[in-house]
């Protein structure tokens, strides 16, 4: 029975293993683990020396501690032997693997393994997922002790092996027994947060273990690229069951992002009526009202009494995701009016719906742009808006949660464009190829390069006088930078105001921006004029720099106002031109102003 003490795997890795004479056999690289009666046990030690691999049986170990590891075998009696892929190894198959921790609704990693001696065997009793385990694996355990000295201890965060499902070789994720039972009790958003930390294959495995309803709710909380990645790897039968449980609009969004073959396979396994609902939504163009609407809503005839409407509502609403209004339609499903649930509950039960319905209805066509829809819903404080065709027939409704997703996407798109780039597919850099990222960014950078060449040409125009301008050279970056920043502030505010449709009078808006720009330009111009005069010991340098600063900031503000407003007027997205265009032309304009002012005052320099 070997001498044994409580230890962690990181404490003995890379440590020498001695034979019976005290000669080094090699350094410990791994442990072969097999199933024990209750907990896993160590079967063999894998040691290496000079690119050779040896296997030492656990039964031959006489000492096994963090200080000394020794075997009763002679070094010459130990044969070369490498572990096979069918064996479970502690380092190769356990350390660094992800563990789903449902109690904290997150994913953690196996950073270390705790071993204890029991009846002459080395038993794996727990996995350490804490920061101290990371330090130990990196050989920085002393830093962990330093934190303790500073009264900033790094405790072990252990998961007992009795909570871990049986392990297999070459596993990618470690699953927990008790927490996995708790996963389905988490909110779908928390489960989605866990899945975001996993690979698509691991996310698929986790989703497969959930009941259909929870899996459907979880899938809707994930971003499109994760949804598509998981469903591509999932069995079509299980995927179709999950899709059937989802609202039609969410199901259509996911199906639309799948490869055509996989989408067809899933649709063929969905019930005919639900598949038709999904296909109806797939025909609409992206970024239109039809593409974000759902065809699940409550609609009753105008002569239906309120008490009967309430009874029908109790049954009909069970299968619908969200209900805010009851729509009143005729026998041809043409929209006649709308009433809120509050009005229905407070009204006289014997009255027909026609008596309480609102006939001045805010509605949109399926071809309406989603941004226009969001503007309408914000303007009239609506939580849902009906979508009707040319004849007035109700096709579906758009709910506020779908519009919030659209507004987030539009805001993201505007930010990308203001920065002079385009978003990659699904907006996920990790899932885009370097070629795709470069393809999206290069055109805007080439535009900036063109602007730089034009700026160089501006400088070349003053080649004969450039030697006289040497004294002014240090201030070029300051003027160009300030003009660019001032223009960016104005253009960003302008683009956002145009997007939100909050500008009532462009003349008044522009006047306020121009007056504030003049104030900023005047203050910064005076400050840099004084600084330049003191640095160069001549007031004329301060005059040139100060006047150039004032004119550059003023002109950049005008450019930043006119550019997005003009783009909006001619039907171009203001965000596209405001970022890169304004930046490039501000540089050209700033240099031109600077050198023009300098030329005019050259005789005084």
> What SS3 string covers 51-96?
CEEEEEEHHHEEEECCCCEEECCCHHHCCECCCCCCCEEHHHHCCC
Q: How far is CA 29 from the centre of its chain?
A: 38
Average the pLDDT over 524-541 and give the result. Answer: 89
The phi, psi pair for 288, rounded to 5°, reads -110, 165
pTM above 0.75, yes or no: no
pLDDT for 243-275, tens place per residue? 988 888 888 888 888 888 888 899 888 888 888
Taking the domain 299-408, which CATH number applies?
Answer: 3.10.580.10
- Among 545, 508, 540, 539, smallest CA distance to 525 is for 545
Residue written as token pair 């609009």: 249
Counting residues of the chain whose pLDDT is more than 90, the rounded percentage is 27
Tell me the fold of 3-90.
SH3 type barrels. (2.30.30)
Q: Which of 304, 232, 314 is nearest to 265 (CA)?
A: 232
Stated length of the chain: 605
The mean pLDDT of 326-334, rounded to a whole number, is 94
Question: How far is Cα 605 from Cα 585, in angstroms, rounded to an integer?
Answer: 28
Q: Burial of 243 by CB count in 10 Å (0-12 exposed, 13-18 middle, 19+ buried)?
A: buried
CB distance 223 to 252 below 8 Å? no
DSSP of 103-128: TTTEEEE--EEEEEEETTEEEEEEEE
Pick the range with the lowest mean pLDDT from 5-14, 55-64, 129-138, 212-221: 129-138
Structural domain boundaries of the chain? 3-90, 184-283, 299-408, 434-604
Please state which architecture CATH assigns to domain 434-604: Orthogonal Bundle (1.10)
Question: Taking the alpha carbons of 392, 395, 401, 404 in that order, is the dihedral positive or negative?
Answer: negative
pLDDT surpassing 60 at residue 320? yes
Residue 55 φ/ψ region, left for φ over 0, alpha for ψ in the -120 to 50 degree band, beta for the rest: beta
Using one digit for the tens of pLDDT, what is the confidence trace for 560-591? Answer: 888 888 888 887 767 666 666 777 777 788 87
**Residue linked to tokens 């499902």:** 165
Q: What is the pLDDT of residue 605?
A: 53
pLDDT digits (tens, 9 = 90+) for 496-505: 787 767 788 8
Q: Which residue has the higher pLDDT, 525 or 592?
A: 525
Question: Rounded distance, CA 184 to CA 236, Å?
Answer: 22
β-bridge mates for residue 305, sequence order: 352
Q: What are phi and psi of 301, to 5 degrees?
A: -70, 155
What is residue 138's predicted lDDT score, i.e. its pLDDT? Answer: 54
Which tokens belong to 380?
A: 């009239």
Q: What percent of the chain has pLDDT over 70?
A: 81
Determine the pLDDT at residue 178.
47
Q: Are the C-beta atoms of 101 and 198 separated by less than 8 Å?
A: no
CATH topology of domain 184-283: MgtE N-terminal fold (1.25.60)
CA distance 184 to 338: 38
Strand spans (E) along 341-465: 384-388, 394-399
Q: pLDDT by residue (tens digit) across 190-248?
A: 888 778 777 777 778 778 878 888 888 889 888 887 888 888 888 888 899 999 888 88
Per-residue pLDDT band at 444 (split at 50, 70, 90): low
Q: Which of 544, 430, 561, 422 lies closest to 503 in space, CA to CA?
A: 561
Measure Cα distances from 143 to 9, 14, 79, 215 in Å.
18, 19, 38, 43
- pLDDT-derived band at 152, boundaries 50, 70, 90: very low
């Amino acid at each position: 029975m070997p001498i044994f003490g409580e230890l962690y795997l990181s404490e003995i890795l890379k440590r020498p293993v001695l034979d019976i004479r005290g000669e080094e056999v090699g350094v410990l690289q791994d442990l072969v683990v097999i199933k024990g009666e209750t907990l896993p046990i160590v079967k063999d030690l894998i040691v290496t020396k000079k690119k050779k691999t040896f296997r030492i049986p656990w039964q031959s170990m006489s000492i096994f501690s963090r200080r000394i590891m020794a075997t009763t075998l002679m070094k010459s009696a130990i044969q070369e032997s490498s572990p096979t892929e069918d064996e479970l190894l502690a380092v190769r198959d356990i350390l660094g693997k992800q563990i789903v921790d449902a109690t904290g609704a997150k994913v953690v990693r196996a950073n270390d393994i705790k071993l204890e001696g029991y009846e002459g065997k080395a038993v794996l009793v727990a996995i350490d997922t804490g920061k101290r385990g990371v330090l130990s694996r990196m050989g920085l355990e002393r830093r962990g002790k330093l934190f303790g000295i500073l009264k900033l201890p790094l405790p072990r965060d252990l998961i007992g092996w009795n909570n871990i499902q049986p392990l297999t070789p070459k596993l990618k994720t470690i699953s927990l027994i008790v927490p996995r039972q708790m996963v389905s009790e988490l909110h779908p958003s928390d489960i989605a947060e866990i899945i975001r930390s996993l690979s698509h294959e691991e996310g698929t495995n986790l989703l497969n273990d959930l009941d259909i309803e929870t899996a459907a709710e979880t899938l809707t909380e994930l971003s499109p690229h994760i949804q598509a990645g998981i469903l591509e790897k999932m069995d079509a039968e299980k995927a179709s069951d999950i899709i059937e449980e989802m609202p039609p609009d969410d199901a259509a969004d996911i199906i639309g992002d799948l490869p055509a073959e996989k989408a067809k396979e899933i649709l063929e396994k969905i019930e005919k009526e639900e598949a038709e609902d999904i296909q109806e939504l797939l025909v609409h163009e992206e970024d239109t009202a039809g593409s974000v609407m759902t065809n699940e809503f409550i609609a009753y005839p105008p002569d239906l009494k309120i008490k009967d409407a309430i009874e029908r509502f109790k049954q009909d609403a069970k299968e619908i995701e969200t209900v805010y209004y009851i729509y009143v339609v005729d026998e041809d499903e043409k929209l006649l009016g709308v009433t809120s649930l509050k009005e229905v509950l407070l009204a006289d039960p014997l009255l027909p719906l026609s008596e309480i319905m609102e006939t001045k209805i805010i509605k949109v066509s399926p071809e309406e742009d989603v941004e226009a829809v969001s503007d309408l819903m914000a303007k009239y404080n609506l939580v849902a808006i009906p979508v009707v065709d040319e004849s007035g027939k109700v096709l579906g409704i758009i709910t506020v949660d779908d519009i919030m997703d659209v507004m987030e996407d539009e805001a993201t798109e505007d930010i990308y464009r203001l920065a002079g780039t385009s978003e990659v597919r699904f907006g996920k850099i990790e899932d885009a190829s370097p070629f795709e990222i470069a393809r999206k960014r290069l055109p805007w950078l080439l535009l900036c390069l063109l602007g730089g060449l034009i700026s160089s040409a501006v400088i070349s125009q003053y080649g004969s006088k450039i030697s006289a301008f040497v004294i002014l050279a240090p201030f070029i970056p300051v003027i160009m930078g300030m003009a660019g920043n001032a223009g960016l502030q104005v253009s960003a505010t302008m683009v956002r105001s145009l997007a939100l449709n909050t500008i009532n009078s462009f003349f008044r808006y522009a006047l306020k921006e121009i007056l504030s720009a003049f104030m900023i330009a005047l203050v910064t111009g005076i400050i840099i004029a004084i600084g330049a005069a003191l640095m160069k010991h001549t007031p004329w340098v301060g005059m040139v720099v100060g006047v150039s600063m004032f004119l550059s900031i003023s002109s950049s503000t005008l450019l930043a106002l006119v550019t997005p407003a003009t783009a909006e007027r001619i039907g171009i997205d203001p965000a596209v031109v405001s970022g890169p265009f304004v930046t490039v032309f501000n540089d050209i304009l700033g240099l031109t102003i600077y050198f023009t002012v300098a030329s005019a005052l050259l005789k005084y320099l």
